[in-house]
Amino acid sequence: MTNDFDAEAAKRVIYDDNINITEANPLKDFFQTVLSLVLILACIYVSVFCISGIIIKSLSVKKQVALENFISPVVDARVAEISSEEQNRLYKIKNNILSLDKKFPKTSNLDIKVIKNSQLNAMCYPNGNIYITSGLYNKLETDEEFTFVIAHEMAHYKHKDHLLALRQNISNIVVIMTLVIANPSGKEIETLAEGGLNLTDLKFSRTAEENADKYAIKMLNKLYGNAKAGVKVMSILKNDEIFNIEFLSTHPNIDNRIKYIKKFSNK
């Protein structure tokens, strides 16, 4: 009898008995784990997104207005002085737009103010109030140009972009909290998740801007027979635009927006 172990003989016995030996693949296991995690987080995100959407849509008008006022920042201290004639001009343009859109929600007075800021920008807050920076206001000349800007901002309120963004933020927070609770030390995974969610937020913002442009184009076509003023506004904004990598931006590339406006203008 001998104690020598014959490795080759052992291999032959194993192969002859049709026994499969599979080597572990760490890389494959890693990707399977990551995929499982992504699917779980995606399910959580979609579930929270849908539930919060149902809750928001079920709000009464009174509660919706209260929520909108609650999440709207206060900017009165920055309001610039304009003449009553100029203020009435802005309100007239707003009323012209409302006269064409009978389905516009009647949950806000859509107050329009000019704020002291050198940037070329306009914004609609969750409560429906529209603010145009003095930098942009001083660049706009015609009623058509003001119509494009005001209609664009009104569209954000009509489409409830402020509430949809709130729904998205709630979903993001739940996903990140789930990661923190499940793996308190996993900072790298948390960072990756935040990056992915940020890209989703940017995509949502760009889509909202595109839809607001469509609404403004529609109003210009109805009121003035063409949307050329939208091109002029975009040309003004282009002078203030920093190099724009679209998928990393909250707004579509201005050159693309100009092409779109030209395409759907009534000439």
Question: Strand pairing of 122-124 and 130-133?
Answer: antiparallel
Tell me if 2 is assigned to some domain. no
CA 41 – CA 186 distance, rounded (Å): 15
Question: Is residue 28 a part of any domain in this protein?
Answer: yes
The confidence score (pLDDT) of residue 33 equals: 73
pLDDT at residue 18, rounded to an integer = 54
Q: What is the mean pLDDT of residues 143-170?
A: 94
Greater confidence (62 vs 77) lies with: 62
According to DSSP, residue 81 is labeled P
Burial class (CB in 10 A: 0-12, 13-18, 19+), 146: buried
Distance of CA 211 to the CA centre of its chain: 11
Q: What is the separation of C-alpha 76 from the centre of its chain, rounded to a whole number of angstroms?
A: 26
Please report whether residue 1 resides in a domain.
Answer: no
What are the distances in angstroms from CA 131 to CA 34, 72, 226? Answer: 44, 12, 25
217 lies in a domain? yes
Q: What is the pLDDT of residue 11?
A: 54
d(CA 262, CA 256): 10
Q: Which of 143, 155, 141, 134 is nearest to 210 (CA)?
A: 155
Please give the pLDDT value at position 171: 86
Tell me what pLDDT residue 6 has. Answer: 61
**Higher-pLDDT residue of 56, 10:** 56
Q: What is the pLDDT of residue 186?
A: 65
Percent of the chain at pLDDT above 70?
87
Mean pLDDT of 141-150: 98
Residues 253-262 have pLDDT tens digits of 999 999 999 9
Q: What's the pLDDT at 192?
A: 74
User: H-type helices in 58-131, by residue range?
Assistant: 61-70, 84-100
Within-domain flag for 222? yes
Q: Tens digits of per-residue pLDDT, 11-52?
A: 555 555 555 555 667 777 767 776 787 788 889 888 988 898
- Overall number of domains in the chain: 1
Q: Which of 6-20, 106-120, 194-208 has the lowest mean pLDDT?
A: 6-20
- Of 115, 110, 107, 79, which is closest to residue 96 (Cα–Cα)? 110
Mean pLDDT, rounded, for 130-154:
97
Structural domain span for residue 55: 23-264
Mean pLDDT, residues 71-87: 87
Neighbour count for residue 226 (Cβ, 10 Å): 17
Looking up tokens 């890209």, which residue turns up? 199
- Look at residue 182 and give its three-state secondary structure: helix
In a domain, 146, yes or no: yes
Q: Quick check: 94 and 150 in contact, CB under 8 A? A: yes
Within a 10 A sphere around the Cβ of 172, how many other Cβ atoms? 20
Return the number of other C-beta atoms located less than 10 Å from residue 90's C-beta: 21
Full-model pTM: 0.81
pLDDT of 81 = 87
Does residue 3 sit within a domain? no
Asked if residue 8 is part of any domain, the answer here is no
In which band, very low, low, confident or very high, does the pLDDT at 183 lie, cut at 50, 70 and 90? confident
Is pLDDT above 80 for 200?
yes
Mean pLDDT of the chain: 86
